């Protein structure tokens, strides 16, 4: 799994002009499932998302996690993060998981996150989504499990 995380002051996702997910301070997570991922990958990614330290402490150092700051998460599936861009000028998606597996593991990861006390919102799997955000920092990281 790959997750592009962005520390945000707010984020939202719309499908067909309808709001389907919205958060305030927290993490926007763009999540890709790769062909070799499994349930353990989803579990590891969820734990990493909850514990990864990207929020500033009182000394202005990135020492706090989204859990530490009681932040919120907006998780949006984005298979394009699984693209191989090494050759040519067109991405290859051969490493992306098949849709059925990707959906199951995306939902598994979200379920793991929802087991935490934090507010967790999500996009709509395989939909054409419009994502809006106010990036805080900006602070952006790519995580893998």
Catalytic entry in 6, 55, 79, 112? 79
Is-contact 94 30, C-beta < 8 A?
A: no
Q: Coil, strand or helix: which one is 75?
A: strand
144 is catalytic: no
Catalytic entry in 40, 80, 85, 144? 80
Catalytic entry in 6, 55, 78, 112? 78
Q: How far is CA 98 from CA 33, 83, 91, 131, 139, in A?
A: 9, 13, 16, 23, 30
55 is catalytic: no
80 is catalytic: yes
Q: What are phi and psi of 26, to 5 degrees?
A: 165, -140
Kindly list the catalytic residues. 78-80
């Amino acid at each position: 799994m790959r997750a592009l995380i962005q520390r945000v002051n707010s984020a939202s996702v719309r499908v067909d002009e309808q709001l389907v997910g919205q958060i305030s301070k927290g993490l926007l997570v763009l999540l890709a499932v790769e062909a070799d991922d499994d349930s353990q990958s989803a579990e590891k990614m969820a734990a990493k998302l909850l514990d990864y330290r990207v929020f500033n402490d009182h000394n202005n150092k990135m020492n706090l996690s989204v859990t530490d700051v009681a932040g919120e998460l907006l998780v949006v599936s984005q298979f394009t993060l699984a693209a191989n861009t090494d050759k040519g000028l067109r991405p290859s998606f051969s490493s992306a998981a098949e849709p059925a597996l990707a959906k199951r593991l995306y939902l598994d990861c979200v379920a793991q996150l929802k087991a935490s006390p934090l507010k967790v919102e999500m996009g709509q799997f395989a939909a054409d989504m419009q994502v809006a955000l106010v990036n805080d920092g900006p602070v952006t990281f790519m995580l893998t499990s």
